[in-house]
Amino acid sequence: MGENGFRAEEIDTTKPHPARIYDYLLGGKDHYEVDRQAGEQLVAAAPEARIGVRANRAFLRRAVRHVVGSGVRQILDIGTGLPTSPNVHETALEVAPDIRVAYVDNDPIVHAHAGDLLGPDGTIGITSGITTGILLADLRDPRAILDAPDVRAVIDFDEPVALLLAAVLHFLADADKPQEIVATLRDALAPGSHLILSHATGDFADRSGAAAVYRKATAAMNLRTRTEIERFFDGFELIDPGVAQVPFWRPDTPPPPRSHEIGFYGGVARKSR
């Protein structure tokens, strides 16, 4: 049993994992040879993949700064992935000092790196006024996430929360009922809460080859159209510019070359009631 409460054999290194492929494409170090091979296959199938994941990460930072700037002080990040600096709480700290962040992921290796998010004990951490926690759980069971003591210790659902679903819903098939999952999470949020969401798409090029790479991984990728992605925002009010390719959602620097090819949509919305 590892220090974070799981066995080493729970980490499957025989198949690529989306979080580790993402880490590889971002230039991280927490991946295996099988993930690097899948990452290169992905780039061969979708040449914009590397700039796409970086643009998605930049979108997430801009969106977090926006919602914290609007007054939200609590963040529930589901599908957080492997720690990549600046992490969500580090980005939020740029705007306000009193931030509470609960990280959730279903990959044991993410939990293994909890120290990078929370401190050496991997439980609840308080640093520079920021309270953070991490939960090993699956988005497919949203009620378990909402009711988890490790989440409730950090998040007060009677107050506004920023719900982050960044590059995670496309790993749910339609059979998983992703719209119902988002609705369950939405209904638990207080008025004034926000949804930050990004999702892969094949709207700008045939990316069936990229999807095929993930069919050999621990989770398949389900590309959706803009119209399908907009439905995840039902019950929220989208803020300008609505659902857009991630480089063009309120850019603060010139979008990188080939941005029009990037197959990621992103959007931010507010729950008014």
pLDDT in tens, 15-49: 898 888 998 998 888 888 999 999 999 999 999 99
- Identify the bridge partners of residue 101 per DSSP, sorted by sequence position: 75, 132
Mean pLDDT of the residues in the chain: 89
User: Is the pLDDT assigned to residue 228 strictly greater than 90?
Assistant: yes
**Pair of tokens at residue 12:** 């499957």
Q: pLDDT value at position 30?
A: 81
Binned at pLDDT 50, 70 and 90, residue 115 comes out as low
Q: pLDDT value at position 5?
A: 43
- Least trusted range by pLDDT, from 89-98, 111-120, 209-218: 111-120
Burial letters for 135-144: b for 16+ Cβ neighbours within 10 Å, e otherwise?
Answer: bbbbbeebee
Q: pLDDT value at position 39?
A: 95
In terms of DSSP bridges, do strands 237-238 and 264-270 run parallel, antiparallel, or are they unpaired? antiparallel
From residue 39, alpha-carbon distances to 22, 43, 166 in Å are 8, 6, 19
C-alpha 191/C-alpha 157 separation (Å) is: 10
Angle ∠(87,112,91) on CA atoms, nearest 5: 5
Q: pLDDT value at position 12?
A: 67
Angle ∠(57,176,87) on CA atoms, nearest 5: 20
Output the pTM of the full model.
0.90
Amino acid at 79: G
User: Is the pLDDT assigned to residue 194 strictly greater than 90?
Assistant: yes
Q: pLDDT value at position 67?
A: 98
Q: pLDDT value at position 83?
A: 75
Centre a 10 Å sphere on the Cβ of residue 273 and count the other Cβ atoms it contains. Answer: 7
